[in-house]
Structure 1
């Protein structure tokens, strides 16, 4: 986990749905109060990414030349939308359910990274714009938390990353006793 790094530039290969299902075995164990499973994932490949780009353009009011797609969703061959499903439950507040969805997204990014794929979690202020929500088929009680951009990694980058001496933040900065 300490070797995990966001990879902004990935190649054209991506894990298959079968490989994703295998990796999800380590994700479905995410901490989940009352086992509500308040999250789901949506895969975007091929033309789905063009549809997302058009929805993002509609949300931002961007105008492009005909035939010129929004390049952002095309940065990776696979995008995985992370969706929090907020359920009404007397013992589990919505914020906790959103935290579970975020945990699932992060576990998936770790699993993908460990399997050798490049991953970057991207979001933005327009992730929950009506046009973007519609293209994902979200229900009113769902929140789009962003997308994991996934693809293969250049072998030279993978070697450099594996031996990186980039310092990790001091863990003590995040730990303190309860105040008296």
Structure 2
């Protein structure tokens, strides 16, 4: 886990849906108060990514020349939309459900990394815009938290990581004692 890195430019290829289902075994134990399961994932492959690009353009008011497309969703063969599904509950506030959905996404990132895939979690101002929500078929009680861009990691980057002397962040800055 300490060697995981976001890969801003993943290569071609991606895990199959069957491989993803196997990796989800690492995600389902995410901390989840009252077992609400307040998250779901949507895979985008092939032309789904083109439709996402169109929705992002519509959300941002971007006009393109005929034949020109939004290439951002094409940076990866597989995008996984992370969706929080919020439920009214007297003991589980919305923030806690969002944290569970984000936790599930991060566990999936770690599982994908362990399986040899590169991942970059991307979001942006248009993430919750109506055209983007509609393209994903989101219900009123759902919130899109972004997309995991998944793909291969090239050998150069793997070698660079293996030789990296980048020290971990000092844990002192994140840890304090109660009352201090």
User: For this structure pair, what is the TM-score category when the shorter chain's length is used for normalisation?
Assistant: over 0.9
1:43-66, Cα deviation, whole Å (9 max, x unpaired): 000000000000000000101111
> 12-21 or 158-167: which moved more?
158-167
The 3-state SS of whatever aligns with 1:25 is: helix
Distance across 2 between alignment mates of 1:66 and 1:118: 33
Distance across 1 between alignment mates of 2:122 and 2:131: 18
The 3-state SS of whatever aligns with 2:26 is: coil
Q: Which stretches in structure 1 are left out of the alignment for 5+ residues?
A: none
Distance across 1 between alignment mates of 2:35 and 2:17: 24
2:21 matches 1:21: yes
Shift of 1:162: 2.5
Task: List structure 1 segments (4+ residues) > 6 angstroms apart after TM superposition.
Answer: none
- The alignment's TM-score, normalised by the length of structure 2, stands at 0.98
Distance across 1 between alignment mates of 2:22 and 2:162: 24
- The alignment's TM-score, normalised by the length of structure 1, stands at 0.98
1:124-177, Cα deviation, whole Å (9 max, x unpaired): 011000000000000001010000000011012112113311122101110000
The 3-state SS of whatever aligns with 1:145 is: strand
Who is 2:32 aligned against?
32
Q: Which stretches in structure 2 are left out of the alignment for 5+ residues?
A: none
Counterparts in 2 of 1:164-175, with a 5 A limit? 164-175=164-175
Who is 1:48 aligned against?
48
2:10 matches 1:6: no
Distance across 2 between alignment mates of 1:125 and 1:110: 25
1:80-137, Cα deviation, whole Å (9 max, x unpaired): 0000000011111111000000000000001101111010000001100000000000
2:142 matches 1:159: no
Who is 1:178 aligned against?
178
Who is 2:63 aligned against?
63
Distance across 2 between alignment mates of 1:115 and 1:75: 20
